């Protein structure tokens, strides 16, 4: 009796149904397992091309397709590009650029709807040019949009089921699940790459800051007979900046002092500043007179200046024995002279002079200033007087003068610190928008 039941048609049908159910269950488990693996891939920090390749390998396997590709929108060129393609002719696929309004992918991108194409060559939307270019033969297609936060970033396609059958609704449901994962993978990988790029940029800026700081004096000149003292500080608005100060010691009684401000800020200004420091240190040894030095620097800078960059600059030479300060200015802010004994502040004549680098033919006027014991000269860049507070008010020359007077009994370092402290107090709720440099010289 049992043998007869085993051989009846109904029992055979039941076994076939059971096998089909088991096969379907196995396929669903495999699909679920692949989706879980894709989730693990997405959560790991990888490069975009690697993430896409691994995800599409899973899609290619689970969908049982001959080919699988991702078409990413190139916003600049307004075309689809294929960074990842799997299957026959995959390498040729990756060299192709497809117009965004062409083919099935173009229709999906425009309408934002997935499509099942049972027979590609019977669909009027199909673009056969890719087949002609690659030698691949497209029969059936599954295509779905890739969306990230309601923004279309591309289209994913699987082509030709390996069993020869057209794709169906069940295939589409599974493929849509993969496409959501692919879109998420692209977004995460892009964010990760941006973070890595930001880290690389920060490291490069830190290195640039270190290199730029090496161009500034490591220590301040010291007078053996205490005839003068100096102090200086530079604070870039960004990691690197375009302000400069430097000292040249010719002998025990002769000191050169320079302050400059490159147009703009950031890396371009820092590179311009670095070249200027090299030129200054070279030419100051050949042409110590301020007027001649500025003329020579200007010619050298103007001949190689690019993108309209220039620099305002002041250079002076102190004769510490006589208290004479000879100087020339190239469009820079004027000197501030402070006489502590009389509480007077004046702005010495600067003479004509345009910023360095604007024209190779420019003239500069040299001035001579007689200092008296304890007189101070303060040189600043416009980042000081133009610093803003939270109400948008500028620090101004007038406030700078008052701050200097309040620090009249202090050393050079004390005057410098007093200016910086008041400046920071003034602008504490506002961001620094320009580089700040201050140099203080006291003759004794």
- From the list 357, 139, 379, 175, the residue with the least C-alpha distance to 257 is 379
| Greater pLDDT, 54 or 303 | 303
At residue 356, the pLDDT reads 93
Most confident of 111-125, 175-189, 338-352: 111-125
The arithmetic mean of pLDDT across residues 362-366, rounded, is 92
The per-residue pLDDT for range 218-252, each reduced to its tens digit, is 889 999 888 999 999 998 887 777 888 999 999 98
* Residue 240: exposure state from Cβ atoms within 10 A (0-12, 13-18, ≥19): buried
pLDDT of residue 249: 92
Q: What is the rounded CA–CA span in Å between residue 382 and residue 90?
A: 59
| CATH 3.30.450.40 residue spans of the chain | 15-193
Greater confidence, 175 or 37? 175
> What sign does the CA torsion over 107, 108, 112, 118 have?
positive
Over the range 137-164, which residues count as b (16 or more CB within 10 Å of their CB) and which as e? ebbbbbbbbbbeeeebbbbbbbbbbeee
- 283-341 pLDDT, tens per residue? 999 999 999 999 999 999 888 776 678 999 999 999 999 999 999 999 999 999 999 88
Compare 317 and 134 and report the one with higher pLDDT. Answer: 317
Would you identify the CATH topology of the domain 207-443?
A: Phosphatase 2c; domain 1 (3.60.40)
pLDDT at residue 40, rounded to an integer: 58
pLDDT in the model for residue 85: 65
Structure-block tokens of residue 204: 């490069």
Contact 441, 376 (CB under 8 A): yes
Which of the residue ranges 130-134, 216-220, 251-255 would you say has the lowest mean pLDDT?
Answer: 130-134
C-alpha 162/C-alpha 87 separation (Å) is 11
On the question of pLDDT at 425 being above 90, the answer is: yes
Sheet with 336-339, strands from edge to edge, namely 228-235, 436-443, 376-380, 336-339, 344-346
pLDDT of residue 442: 95
Q: Which residues pair with 87 in a beta bridge?
A: 67
* Packing angle, helices 48-63 and 169-215, rounded to 10: 170
Cβ(136)–Cβ(157) below 8 Å: no
Every domain range in the chain assigned CATH 3.60.40.10: 207-443
pLDDT, tens digit (0-9, with 9 covering 90-100), for 365-416: 999 999 999 999 999 999 999 999 989 899 999 999 999 999 988 899 999 9
How high is the pLDDT of residue 341?
80
pLDDT in tens, 196-207: 777 777 776 676
Cα distance between residue 63 and residue 252, in whole Å: 84
- Domain 15-193 falls in which CATH fold? Beta-Lactamase (3.30.450)
User: Tokens representing 227?
Assistant: 């005839």
Q: What percent of the chain has pLDDT over 90?
A: 39
């Amino acid at each position: 009796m049992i043998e007869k039941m085993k051989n009846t048609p109904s029992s055979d049908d039941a076994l076939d149904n059971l096998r089909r159910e088991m096969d379907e269950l196995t396929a669903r488990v495999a699909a679920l397992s692949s989706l879980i693996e894709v989730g693990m891939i997405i959560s790991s920090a990888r490069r975009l091309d690697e993430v896409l390749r691994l995800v599409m390998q899973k899609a290619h396997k689970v969908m049982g397709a001959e080919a699988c590709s991702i078409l990413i929108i190139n916003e600049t060129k307004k075309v689809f590009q294929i960074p990842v393609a799997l299957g026959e002719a995959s390498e040729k696929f990756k060299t192709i650029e497809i117009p965004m309004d062409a083919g099935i992918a173009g229709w999906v991108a425009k309408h934002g709807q997935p499509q099942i194409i049972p027979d590609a060559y019977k669909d009027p939307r199909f673009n056969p040019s890719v087949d002609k270019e690659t030698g691949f033969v497209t029969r059936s297609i599954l295509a779905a949009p890739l969306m990230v936060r309601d923004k279309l970033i591309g289209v994913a396609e699987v082509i030709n089921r390996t069993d020869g059958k057209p794709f169906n609704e069940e295939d589409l449901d599974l493929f849509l699940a993969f496409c959501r994962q692919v879109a998420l993978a692209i977004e995460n990988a892009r964010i990760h790459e941006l973070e890595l790029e930001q880290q690389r940029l920060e490291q490069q800026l830190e290195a640039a800051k270190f290199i730029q700081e090496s161009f500034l004096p490591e220590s301040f000149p010291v007078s053996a007979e205490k005839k003068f003292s100096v102090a200086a500080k530079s604070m870039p608005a960004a990691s690197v900046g375009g302000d400069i100060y430097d000292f040249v010691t010719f002998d025990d009684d002769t000191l050169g002092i320079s302050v400059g401000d490159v147009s703009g800020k950031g890396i371009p200004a820092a590179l311009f500043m670095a070249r200027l420091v090299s030129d200054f240190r070279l030419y100051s040894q050949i042409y110590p007179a301020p007027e001649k030095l500025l003329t020579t620097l200007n010619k050298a800078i103007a001949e190689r200046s690019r993108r309209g960059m220039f620099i305002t600059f002041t250079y002076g030479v102190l004769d510490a024995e006589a208290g004479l300060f000879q100087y020339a200015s190239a469009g820079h802010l004027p000197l501030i002279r402070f006489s502590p004994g009389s509480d007077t502040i004046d702005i010495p004549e600067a003479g004509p002079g345009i910023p360095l680098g604007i024209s190779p033919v420019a003239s500069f006027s040299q001035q001579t200033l007689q200092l008296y014991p304890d007189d101070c000269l303060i040189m600043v860049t416009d980042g000081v007087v133009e610093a803003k507070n939270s109400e948008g008010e500028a620090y101004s020359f007038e406030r700078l003068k008052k701050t200097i007077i309040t620090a009249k009994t202090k050393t050079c370092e004390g005057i410098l610190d007093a200016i910086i402290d008041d400046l920071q107090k003034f602008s504490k709720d506002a961001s620094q928008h320009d580089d700040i440099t201050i140099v203080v010289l006291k003759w004794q």
